[in-house]
Structure 1
Amino acid sequence: MTTSSSRLLERIQQLIATPSVSSVSPQFDQSNRPVIDLLANWLNDLGFAVQIEPLIEQPNKANLIATLGRGPGGLVLAGHTDTVPFNANRWRFDPFGGVIADERIYGLGSADMKSFLALAIEAAREFATHELSQPLVILATADEESSMHGAQALAAAGQPLGRHAVIGEPTELKPVRMHKGILMEAIRLEGRSGHSSNPA
């Protein structure tokens, strides 16, 4: 095993071992700050400018924006730091163990999506010593599995992050160029009520 793949596996296991369950139920909901702090340390070591942005609604949770290089445009590698609640009795291995068996890593967040964050950082290592013509941004958000407060905070801040993005959600290794989302709007109409038979 190469040094980089060994480091990658170790980091995936560290992320899996760091609980960050998000839930609309307060009894299961946890902070994602330990995961954010791990990522921030690794990215600082590579020379990224790291911003940790606590969520106003939940100060124990935060987004991370790490930038390598300067200027407009660039590429964003985006992922979320939280996982779903779980029932340990339904797991073959410890959900926080990061056990390697059958050529797979087993653990909460191994597929969705802590492994992607470790992969993005390991891939960025290749560019850390180069002058980039456009920035590389690694984005890690909070609460994707529950309230979406992390993404909402980013949208509210209105900070442009990059021209292109790769979102590391599991897709069975099939590239997906767009995905459904959600949009909610409120419309307020003013005037006099009427009916088509008597519009006056």
Structure 2
Amino acid sequence: MEAHNTRNTYSKTHEILVGLFVFSLLLSCITSFIAICSPDWAKSVLGEVKAGVYINANYEMYIYGLWQYCSIPVNSGRICRTYIYIIYDNWIQYCQFCSILAILLNISAFLYWFWNKANSRIQFSVKYLAYTSVIMGLNAFISLTIIIVYAFRYKQSLINSAMESNNLSFKIMSNLTWAFGLYSIGTIFSIIGTLSSALNYFVTKKLINSN
């Protein structure tokens, strides 16, 4: 009786963790894809400084993404260009490459899960759980490095631009925007998916041994 209850507990835990993994994986894919395609990762506004006070007047605004940047001149529409039109550092290329790699890892994890489910092996496939834990772990790590590199290097590039400018009557105000936040949320879901898959690996092994 006790062994039966133990198996039921492991089985229910396994099902919950599978559901959590799939839920996290799908949300990670969706949020990350939307964020990567968006040009609104960060923005900067050039404003005038009078008596040490920043005045957010009608000056040109710049919006940055992973693939392009957009300028919004005064009383005009958005003008967008890819980064090939300007000189940019390797950190942009790094974020671009890693974002594609992270998406491919997400898709690979989902396709592998779907393949195992179609072959009715997901419930007791320890090897599957080990592989998906590694795939999602790599995805979470790569996504996390993108967040850190983009946030740090974007701020640093604006600081360098401000230091190189001799016009002390103007100041650059900048902040990270919604797409950066959305990608961060996708990374959190990747971490949750990794942890749920890794935990499910041990739960499934115990479930197999209890039979």
**Do both share a fold (TM > 0.5)?**
no
Q: What band does the TM-score fall into relative to the shorter chain? A: under 0.3
> Which has the larger Rg?
2
Name whichever structure is richer in helix by fraction. Answer: 2
TM-score, normalization: structure 1? 0.26
Q: Taking CA–CA contacts closer than 8 Å with sequence separation of 6 or more, which of the two structures ends up with the larger relative contact order?
A: 2
TM-score, normalization: structure 2? 0.25
